[in-house]
Structure 1
Amino acid sequence: MPQDKEKAESLKALANELYSKKDFKGAYQKYTEAIKADGTNAIYYANRAAASLGMQQFMNACTDADKAIELDPKYAKAHARYAAGHAGLGRFETAAKSWRRALALLPQVDSQLSPTERKLKEQFEAELSKAETNAKAPLKDAIGLGQDEVSKTPWHRAIAEEQNLRAEENANSSGWLMIHAYREFSEGVDAMKSLKVVKKDGRQGMFGRLDCIVNISNGLMREPRVFHINSPDWFEKLNNQIMFEVGRSGGWSNVGPKVIMEDAPKRLRKGGWESVRPAISTTVRAWIVSGCLSSRMSNQSGPAYEFFSRAIELLEWGRIMWKDVSTEERGVVFERSFIRGIKRMKLESMIAILVSKENCSFTKKKVADEALHIIEDAEANPPQGTLDPGFVLSFWVYPRAEAMAAIGWYHIQSGFASTTAETAKTAFSEAHKFYLRASQALPPDEENTFQYLYVALEALWFAGESLQKQLPLLSDLDTTGQKIMRFWAMSSASERTHGHMAMTTAYRNQVMSGLSSGKYELSNVVKPINVKSVDKFPNSATIYVKL
């Protein structure tokens, strides 16, 4: 294809102007047009990578930066953008290597550095230091289980109760969620451990099963809380397994969805669905597993958000592109329930980013909007056919309930951001409503049922509601607290749960005693003393109770 270099330079100038105004989407489009006019210029790809970084689309940034390096291996900015992309994906060791390469391509004598190069060197060194620090950072939630701890986990408690659950004929139990999630996850881990890495004559080969990533991703999508590690080389084995399965399936590595959207239709024409189906499935599932590990193991939720977002982007494109193709042909990854499962995890990562105040490209309102879409999707597309109870819980009940809680969280934040007592009360009242709905949507023996009830009660305190409105919640908390002990007495969140149980029990006892003695009336606004420090608009009539 002939190159139009003059047109490409003109488009690059327009793109640069848009980029300087932080219109990263517009800049991306213009750089794309420049690449179409001249696909041989490394600068265009590196600049488009910068636009992707501006939109926090790290996979696409890595893809373009890699192409820029291919065209010009000595282009320092291309290596820097490749490094930034991998840092955004939580791959800090890869990022550090690329920052070092970028630094090595600058003049090594300070006196030979131009002002621009000196500024780049300072930036590269700062980012290298950050990447090295993050690469050495301790893992956040590495749930390693000793033999004596295994029987205490929610999934093993549920398995021990499986026959009782069947006898009860109760599909609405969190026990089913954990049983099915754990079995798929553990089957995948067992498959992962069977992988053999063989080195011969300086070459490395791998031999193993091809159902590991399917099962691990299925287990984590059913319920991320089943994640745990049970061997010191767990992560090394997982990385090897992902490389093995992506390679054997013809999947895509180190590229974003835009490359796959271009390549998959071409592959389909050549090799049919037998070629494309496993490639897309394995690639997307590897992203899901990587996203889950990022969210549960590191102190940054940004990589998880990126993996989940790009998986959703690719699958929603595929649903439209191949809307007339059967599930059997194109694969289950394009099913609404599968995509909904990823959206559930993405929603959790969005809230985590906002809570941690990480740099992000979305607002709290965006969380509420995405949560509403999950609710509407789950309600408009109810489960069909014969499905195990755990599957219905994982892909309909829990996404819907957690989305309701996310909207409640948004209203809590809005309440604290309010500038008047009236708007704050309205926001906290809405938060109470959505958290209460979330608790009612979950199984009664689920630990988050208790947690959502607790936050619903907090919302009543923040809203300044009377004891008359609080008492039903206090009663529900007491009942639910007993039910969740069946499976969740020793969960990773049990310390928080037990603390809330103790506090609400003490508060309820004081309230009931006060009502009985005539000290309080149902119309009184009563709150625990610890709420006083965060009361947005305190009222002189409020009674604070010491516990």
Structure 2
Amino acid sequence: MSSDPVQLKDEGNALFVKKEYAAAILKYTHAIALDTKNAVLYGNRAACHLALKKWLDASGDARKATDLDQGYAKGWGRLAAAQDAMLHYNESVKFWQKAIDALPAQLSPVEVKQKEQYEEGLKGAKRRLEDSEKQSTYIRMSSSDKIPWKVAKALLPELQARGQAGAQSSAWVISAAYDEWKEGIDYLNGLKRIPVPGSQQYRVVGCTQGLASLSNGILRDSRIFHIDDPKFVEKYNEQVMFEVQALRAFSTEGVEGVIEKAQKRQREEGWDSIRPALSTTVRAWIMQGFVVNGLKGEPELAASLLKSAVDFLCWGREAWKDVPDTNRGTIFSDTFLRGVRTMYLDMLHNSYCKNPRPDALQAVYDEAKDLLEDASAAYGNITGNYDPGFVFSFYLYPQGSALAMMGYYHAQLGDQAAETDGEKSSHYMLAAEKYAEAAMMYPEDDEQRAWYLSCAMGHMWKCPVPIRALVTIGEKLRAAAPKMRRIWENSQLAKGGRDKSIKFNLDKVDEALAAVSQGKVSLDDYMALKFE
């Protein structure tokens, strides 16, 4: 590769024009290594990251470009675009204005178009900022004692008394998730601003474990996410700022920037300095991803943020593979990464649902396949003692999620195939098989077992299958449904029509069994339903 940064930049530009963004990034990165003070190199790499929807990296590079050259209009424009994509509309408005202000007084034809683009960006950011201020982010949960985690907590003494048999319950999973989540909320509520005598300033006092507890709760079981405080977002943002400042975390860099600065700080200050900073940085990405999906309905942004976390964790595990987790941090453990990957898979699925594209569906399948291989291999090599819900959260549930997404993939291909396509029924059958496998990764009293069994039956009806096979799945569903309602009667999935689907499938099985008992058909006869 060339040792001339100008030539590398030109080669990167040519690749960018051909939309070969990953290859262009490599060229710009090599050029930056040779010329670290060149704002244009950072700005061009930021443009590549924008094209790849890697918003954190785009923001980090654009920020570096504008630090090096305050008059670099394209740098400000790219920083504004990245901030806008991450829903940081206040920042976006500010940076669009800086992009406009950085243009010269006498504009060339190209610069006239730039200004029009920046003004349009500013106008859009202002509109989105105004709209966001009108939106409520308060989700009130019922105070009923039948909320899943409350029911689960009440069941623990009974389950504990049953010994090993009692360990096979989703109550342990959601209870542990609730303990972590509640601890995090307590830390948010405990953050205090204390006035400094003789001044208008104040100092913030609190615990730097808020993000750790909240993210641990979500990684154990994302169904624990709930907000019953109208000031949650405000308190959460204050907690993030407090932890970032107290632990010197990286709040403005993307993956590449964090890698560069983390290695430098580790060499200069050691693990005790960099470990908590990296933990806060990665957990902030995770939480931001989860929150923007849950509160803003932006799964694509969430997937981008979670992918940044996954990429950084994978880099750290390789770069520091000989360093124990006690030094580099829990975030680099197998189970933590698996939890993040499971959440990332869920966001890829949500992104596809919102904007269905063939490449997005394939990304869901590929990630699910990789996650399944990792989780199943890890499950066969578990060592150590864990609390009853830990193995479900980080070994079995990831397998269940992966198998269900593989089932979803085949279901989509079945829906998309023409009626005359012989592959249509094959895809539906594969979908049913994967959903049935997914169900078995959850304890009988977890709603996901009943739900995925119901999904399996739903796709079996779409292709001729022996009644015997339908009855087998149906009886498993019949056994699981009442058990899961004890804990999950009032879950979000239940509110979305879970029980209606289960009842439909069980009613159809009963009709088939009645036909068998009347001698109209046999268990070996094939059956399918017509769906309009």
Deviation (angstroms), 1:434: 0.9
Of 229, 232, 244 in structure 2, the residue corresponding to residue 231 of structure 1 is 229
Give the Cα–Cα distance (whole angstroms) in 1 for the partners of residues 239 and 374 of structure 2: 34
Counterpart residue type for residue 230 of structure 1: D
* Aligned CA distance change for structure 1 residues 90 and 312 (closer, same or farther; 3 Å): same
* Aligned CA distance change for structure 1 residues 528 and 41 (closer, same or farther; 3 Å): same
Instruction: Determine the structure 1 residue equivalent to 2:153.
Output: 159
- Matches for 1:74-85 after TM superposition, within 5 Å: 74-85=71-82
Instruction: Determine the structure 2 residue equivalent to 1:381.
Output: 378
Give the Cα–Cα distance (whole angstroms) in 1 for the partners of residues 121 and 148 of structure 2: 41
Deviation (angstroms), 1:195: 0.6
* Aligned CA distance change for structure 1 residues 43 and 204 (closer, same or farther; 3 Å): farther
Give the Cα–Cα distance (whole angstroms) in 2 for the partners of residues 486 and 307 of structure 1: 35
Q: Which moved more, 1:394-403 or 1:159-168?
A: 159-168
* Aligned CA distance change for structure 1 residues 17 and 140 (closer, same or farther; 3 Å): farther
Instruction: Determine the structure 1 residue equivalent to 2:509.
Output: 508
SS of 1:206's equivalent?
Answer: strand
Deviation (angstroms), 1:359: 8.0
Give the Cα–Cα distance (whole angstroms) in 1 for the partners of residues 464 and 296 of structure 2: 38
Instruction: Determine the structure 1 residue equivalent to 2:394.
Output: 395
- Contact 1:102–1:124 (CA<8 Å) still a contact in 2? yes
Deviation (angstroms), 1:358: 6.8
Of 208, 219, 222 in structure 2, the residue corresponding to residue 221 of structure 1 is 219
Give the Cα–Cα distance (whole angstroms) in 2 for the partners of residues 336 and 156 of structure 1: 30
Give the Cα–Cα distance (whole angstroms) in 2 for the partners of residues 341 and 223 of structure 1: 9
SS of 2:368's equivalent?
Answer: helix
Counterpart residue type for residue 290 of structure 1: Q
SS of 1:40's equivalent?
Answer: coil
Structure 2: gaps of 5 or more residues: none
SS of 1:389's equivalent?
Answer: coil
Structure 1: gaps of 5 or more residues: 1-5, 534-547
Q: Say yes or no: does 1:117 pair with 2:111.
A: yes
Q: Say yes or no: does 1:493 pair with 2:490.
A: no
Instruction: Determine the structure 1 residue equivalent to 2:367.
Output: 370
Counterpart residue type for residue 229 of structure 2: S
- Contact 2:220–2:394 (CA<8 Å) still a contact in 1? yes
Give the Cα–Cα distance (whole angstroms) in 1 for the partners of residues 364 and 192 of structure 2: 43
Counterpart residue type for residue 188 of structure 1: G
SS of 2:465's equivalent?
Answer: coil
- Contact 1:140–1:299 (CA<8 Å) still a contact in 2? no
- Deviation per CA, 1:299-350, whole angstroms, max 9, x where unpaired? 2112211221111111111112222222222211111111001000000001
Instruction: Determine the structure 1 residue equivalent to 2:336.
Output: 338
- Matches for 1:401-420 after TM superposition, within 5 Å: 401-419=400-418
- Contact 1:140–1:296 (CA<8 Å) still a contact in 2? no
* Aligned CA distance change for structure 1 residues 324 and 194 (closer, same or farther; 3 Å): same
- Matches for 1:131-210 after TM superposition, within 5 Å: 131-132=125-126, 134-135=128-129, 136-137=131-132, 142-146=138-142, 148-149=143-144, 151-169=145-163, 170-198=166-194, 200=196, 201-210=199-208
- Contact 2:378–2:395 (CA<8 Å) still a contact in 1? no
- Deviation per CA, 1:377-415, whole angstroms, max 9, x where unpaired? 222223321100111111111111111111111111222
Deviation (angstroms), 1:528: 4.9
Counterpart residue type for residue 189 of structure 1: I
Deviation (angstroms), 1:101: 3.3
SS of 1:281's equivalent?
Answer: helix
- Deviation per CA, 1:275-301, whole angstroms, max 9, x where unpaired? 111111111111111121122222211
- Contact 1:155–1:178 (CA<8 Å) still a contact in 2? yes
- Deviation per CA, 1:8-55, whole angstroms, max 9, x where unpaired? 333222211110110001111122233233333322211110011122
Counterpart residue type for residue 389 of structure 2: G
- Contact 1:277–1:330 (CA<8 Å) still a contact in 2? yes
* Aligned CA distance change for structure 1 residues 359 and 507 (closer, same or farther; 3 Å): closer
Give the Cα–Cα distance (whole angstroms) in 2 for the partners of residues 359 and 467 of structure 1: 35
Give the Cα–Cα distance (whole angstroms) in 1 for the partners of residues 195 and 128 of structure 2: 31
Give the Cα–Cα distance (whole angstroms) in 2 for the partners of residues 126 and 439 of structure 1: 49
- Contact 2:417–2:423 (CA<8 Å) still a contact in 1? yes
Instruction: Determine the structure 1 residue equivalent to 2:37.
Output: 40
* Aligned CA distance change for structure 1 residues 142 and 392 (closer, same or farther; 3 Å): farther
Instruction: Determine the structure 1 residue equivalent to 2:348.
Output: 350
Give the Cα–Cα distance (whole angstroms) in 2 for the partners of residues 393 and 434 of structure 1: 18
Give the Cα–Cα distance (whole angstroms) in 1 for the partners of residues 93 and 101 of structure 2: 12
Give the Cα–Cα distance (whole angstroms) in 1 for the partners of residues 141 and 25 of structure 2: 46
SS of 2:389's equivalent?
Answer: helix
Deviation (angstroms), 1:464: 2.9
Q: Which moved more, 1:463-472 or 1:267-276?
A: 463-472
Q: Say yes or no: does 1:324 pair with 2:322.
A: yes
Give the Cα–Cα distance (whole angstroms) in 1 for the partners of residues 233 and 24 of structure 2: 38
- Contact 1:142–1:228 (CA<8 Å) still a contact in 2? no
Give the Cα–Cα distance (whole angstroms) in 1 for the partners of residues 137 and 467 of structure 2: 38
- Matches for 1:265-284 after TM superposition, within 5 Å: 265-284=263-282
Give the Cα–Cα distance (whole angstroms) in 2 for the partners of residues 130 and 378 of structure 1: 43
- Deviation per CA, 1:207-244, whole angstroms, max 9, x where unpaired? 11122111111111111111111211111111111111
Give the Cα–Cα distance (whole angstroms) in 1 for the partners of residues 529 and 139 of structure 2: 34
Deviation (angstroms), 1:435: 0.7
* Aligned CA distance change for structure 1 residues 12 and 463 (closer, same or farther; 3 Å): same
- Deviation per CA, 1:179-214, whole angstroms, max 9, x where unpaired? 000001101110111111345534443111122111
Q: Which moved more, 1:298-307 or 1:71-80?
A: 71-80
- Contact 1:301–1:353 (CA<8 Å) still a contact in 2? yes
SS of 2:276's equivalent?
Answer: helix
Instruction: Determine the structure 1 residue equivalent to 2:242.
Output: 244
* Aligned CA distance change for structure 1 residues 16 and 140 (closer, same or farther; 3 Å): farther
- Contact 1:195–1:241 (CA<8 Å) still a contact in 2? yes
Instruction: Determine the structure 2 residue equivalent to 1:13.
Output: 10
Give the Cα–Cα distance (whole angstroms) in 1 for the partners of residues 417 and 136 of structure 2: 33
- Contact 1:141–1:296 (CA<8 Å) still a contact in 2? no
SS of 2:193's equivalent?
Answer: strand
* Root mean square deviation of aligned Cα: 2.5
- Contact 1:181–1:226 (CA<8 Å) still a contact in 2? yes
Counterpart residue type for residue 324 of structure 2: S
Give the Cα–Cα distance (whole angstroms) in 2 for the partners of residues 134 and 525 of structure 1: 55
Q: Which moved more, 1:176-185 or 1:89-98?
A: 89-98
Instruction: Determine the structure 2 residue equivalent to 1:544.
Output: none
Instruction: Determine the structure 2 residue equivalent to 1:453.
Output: 453
Q: Say yes or no: does 1:483 pair with 2:467.
A: no
Give the Cα–Cα distance (whole angstroms) in 2 for the partners of residues 450 and 78 of structure 1: 52
* Aligned CA distance change for structure 1 residues 130 and 224 (closer, same or farther; 3 Å): farther
* Aligned CA distance change for structure 1 residues 141 and 373 (closer, same or farther; 3 Å): farther
Report the number of matched residues. Answer: 521
Instruction: Determine the structure 2 residue equivalent to 1:256.
Output: 254
* Aligned CA distance change for structure 1 residues 352 and 139 (closer, same or farther; 3 Å): farther
- Matches for 1:96-115 after TM superposition, within 5 Å: 96-106=93-103, 114-115=108-109
Give the Cα–Cα distance (whole angstroms) in 2 for the partners of residues 470 and 199 of structure 1: 68
* Aligned CA distance change for structure 1 residues 337 and 396 (closer, same or farther; 3 Å): same
* Aligned CA distance change for structure 1 residues 26 and 474 (closer, same or farther; 3 Å): same
